[in-house]
Structure 1
Amino acid sequence: MSEASPEAYLPADRDRVRTRLIEWYTDDHREYPWRETTDPYPILVSEVMSQQTQLDRVVDAWADFLDRWPTIADLAAADRADVVGFWTDHSLGYNNRAKYLHEAAREVLEDHDGTFPRDPDGLQELMGVGPYTANAVASFAFDNGDAVVDTNVKRVLYRAFDVPDDDEAFELVAQLLMPDGDSRVWNNAIMELGGVACEKTPACDSAGCPWREWCHAYETGDFTAPDVPTQPDFEGSRRQMRGRVVRTLNEHGELALDKLGPRVRVDYAPDGDYGREWLRDLLGDLADDGMVDLRERDGTTVATLRE
């Protein structure tokens, strides 16, 4: 791991960073049925299914699976060949995962009297349940997990806070960033951020990423990541221009349009294609996202970062 402490990678206003992400997630997120329950059994099924399958494709298979085996007892009593056959028919990846899920159901019934362990260590003792899945189930079912660190979360931390590509660093920073006692909403939120706004090709502005104000990648325009070795198209994009506005206002404070414009685009011309009208539109987006304040002063529009 890097010699820097985990705290060194995070902004000083950490509480504001947390609040922004949770509000963003709470206001609007993808609807998946397993997010509407705290029952560990359907949550475990969703986690195992999604290991090799995109979430949107998991929805129908997950519903069919629970229609056929609606409780952990039903799954434990099932013929293993039927469970494996279901897995194959729904193209859910390695059949071993079906075998392990079936065996885990039996272990819950026989070794735990039908009650799931509530913490990651206990869940990890179930057949085929690794550290990530155990932590996810503990978080989403019992609000009792650690910070989840998957590929999406690593990408977010690498880009947003310049965390080095080091598993230990990711784990420590993720845990430090997660609010105490909030693993359910937090882990859902940060994984949603990686799956919606901070994908391999980022959608910072269109997805309204709540961390643009602090994001190292958004400021520098470098959106490479551990799973994104080459730079996505960025030069000249609206996302790049927004990043320049935020960086410029952070450096210079309040600026009138014609003082700000040339610092954002070298070809800025007040009445040109990239002039006041274009800049007002860009600033309007940032104002709508809660990042910039616009005021009229002596007949001139001035912009400043929102505190």
Structure 2
Amino acid sequence: MTDGHASSLDDGDAPALPEDLDAVRDALVSWYEADHRDFPWRRTEDPYEILVSEVMSQQTQLGRVVKAWEDFLDEWPTTADLAAADRSDVVAFWSSHSLGYNNRAKYLHEAARQVREEYDGEFPQTPDELSELMGVGPYTANAVASFAFNNGDAVVDTNVKRVLHRAFDEIHNADDPDYETLANALMPPGESRMWNNAIMELGGVACQKTPKCDEEGCPWRKWCYAYETGDFTAPDVPTQPEFEGSRRQFRGRIVRVLSEYDELSLDELGPKIRVDYNPEGNHGREWLRELLSDLSDDGLIHMKNCDGTTIAQLRR
């Protein structure tokens, strides 16, 4: 992030945290609580139901997982039901719902048997214990611990890496970025359920491969390195989008805003087209004046000086 750092993380080589860490955290959580995708597994804390959703989501779009997840739980509503099922029936279900590799169905069935036989029917609650279940890797174990028991570390999947890579300049410019250390330092202690849902939602909705910063009201815009610089590359986005963050994009915003107002000064217009507008900053009056000059040269707007204040109007 770009507006100053507080003390470094425990690892001296890890990125530093933003000075206003509480504000960064609160902004993300408030954004998530105000509006997020309502997947049914987000409404449960049952570890079995969450494990099923995590395994199904490994190779299938979330929108398609919903029906399969509901059908699976109708067929085998509890861990005990799945453990008692015939494995061939579970595999047949998996195949009929196009859920990817059938081995995942076998592993899920075996994990249910382990819970029944090795844990007396009670799910283990820590990432390390959950990793002992068949087919449950570190990511899935941590996700189940987080969402079922609020007992996990920060989740670091592809979406979260993309968010951290774009938001933090030291991650963005590092040869070997330490995503895990930063992710865990950002997460409020004891809040893995809420935080992991929120940051994964940010990556899945606003910080997609083609970002939708303003459209989705990204809560980190005023701190974000990518939003400031226009460099939206990330590990899974090898080339920079041609439009997002470009001068062309901001010129379009200026025209749209001025179409709604008779006239605006630079400091009235700036915050309406860029959330991190700072009159004296990199994206301040001089930056905005250059964009307006381009639009004026194109005959789209008119600029005038009123008592030393630059006023912009859309040519009608």
Residue 96 (str. 1) matches residue 103 (str. 2):
yes
Distance in 2 (CA, whole Å) between partners of 1:271 and 1:166 is 42
Residue 6 (str. 1) matches residue 18 (str. 2):
no
Matching residue of 2:4: none
Q: 1:254 to 1:80 in 2, by over 3 A?
A: closer
Backbone CA RMSD of aligned residues: 3.0
Matching residue of 2:24: 17
Q: Give, as a single letter, the amino acid of the residue that structure 2 aligns with 1:87.
A: W
If the length of structure 1 is used for normalisation, what is the TM-score?
Answer: 0.82
**Greater mean alpha carbon deviation, residues 155-164 or residues 40-49:** 155-164
Matching residue of 2:187: 178
Matching residue of 1:231: 240
Deviation at residue 249 of structure 1 after TM alignment: 1.0
Q: How many residues align?
A: 277
Unaligned stretches of 5+ in structure 2? 1-10, 254-269, 312-316
List per-residue Cα deviations over 1:82-128 (Å, max 9, x = no partner): 00000000000011000000000000010001110111001001010
Unaligned stretches of 5+ in structure 1? 277-297, 303-307
If the length of structure 2 is used for normalisation, what is the TM-score?
Answer: 0.80
1:99-114 to 2 correspondences below 5 Å: 99-114=106-121
**Greater mean alpha carbon deviation, residues 240-249 or residues 170-179:** 240-249
**Greater mean alpha carbon deviation, residues 224-233 or residues 180-189:** 224-233
1:205-220 to 2 correspondences below 5 Å: 205-220=214-229
Q: 1:253 to 1:127 in 2, by over 3 A?
A: closer
List per-residue Cα deviations over 1:188-230 (Å, max 9, x = no partner): 0000000000000000010000000011111111111100101
Q: 1:274 to 1:185 in 2, by over 3 A?
A: farther
Contact 2:277 2:283 in 1 (8 A): no
1:197 aligned to 206, 213, 229, which one? 206
Residue 273 (str. 1) matches residue 280 (str. 2):
no
Distance in 2 (CA, whole Å) between partners of 1:32 and 1:104 is 23
Q: Give, as a single letter, the amino acid of the residue that structure 1 aligns with 2:124.
A: P
> After TM superposition, which residue ranges in structure 1, 4 or more long, deviate above 6 angstroms?
165-168, 239-244, 253-256
Q: 1:159 to 1:240 in 2, by over 3 A?
A: farther
Contact 1:87 1:93 in 2 (8 A): yes
Distance in 2 (CA, whole Å) between partners of 1:248 and 1:104 is 52
Percent sequence identity is 66
Q: Give, as a single letter, the amino acid of the residue that structure 1 aligns with 2:300.
A: D
**Greater mean alpha carbon deviation, residues 157-166 or residues 115-124:** 157-166
Distance in 2 (CA, whole Å) between partners of 1:180 and 1:240 is 42
Contact 2:166 2:232 in 1 (8 A): yes
SS at match of 2:41: helix
1:23-34 to 2 correspondences below 5 Å: 23-34=30-41
Q: Give, as a single letter, the amino acid of the residue that structure 2 aligns with 1:198.
A: C
Matching residue of 1:288: none
Contact 2:251 2:291 in 1 (8 A): no
Q: Give, as a single letter, the amino acid of the residue that structure 1 aligns with 2:60.
A: T
Distance in 1 (CA, whole Å) between partners of 2:153 and 2:182 is 12
Distance in 2 (CA, whole Å) between partners of 1:167 and 1:140 is 29
